Amino acid sequence: MPAQSLDRLQRKRIGRALREDIQCEGAGYHLDSIFFSIIGKEEQMYLVNADLDSIECSCPDFEHRGEVLLCKHICWLLLRAGLSPEDLLELRGIPGRREVELLMRMGSRLC
């Protein structure tokens, strides 16, 4: 998919993360990883797991597009952790060690 279309799709997800009523129900550490329970639309709960240098989500969007786009749950967490929408676009769908460390440091304060 051309980079321009990916940018557009990523902007949509960032927009949803900013607008929708998304909440964090809890966070916990397990060995070298941290997980967050995120509740989105329709009260559906998803788990976001940050581990070493990757961040994964259990939502269907991440399952289908997670290799090239950040789902709205990951966007929401990273925005709360202090990244800007432009920072998220620059990740090109691939968060790295810096973002994982940010989530680890913030932990349950993001909830």
Binding of Zn ion by 35 (CB under 5 A): no
Nearer to Zn ion, 2 or 76 (CB): 76
Q: Which of 35, 62, 66, 78 binds Zn ion (CB under 5 A)?
A: 62
- The set of residues, in sequence order, having a beta carbon less than 8 Å from that of 39 and lying 6+ positions away, is 22, 23, 24, 25, 45, 46
Subset of 1-30 contacting Zn ion (CB under 5 A): none
Q: Which of 59, 75, 78, 88 binds Zn ion (CB under 5 A)?
A: 59
- CA 46/CA 29 separation, integer angstroms: 16
Binding interface with Zn ion (CB under 5 A) = 57, 59, 62, 71, 73
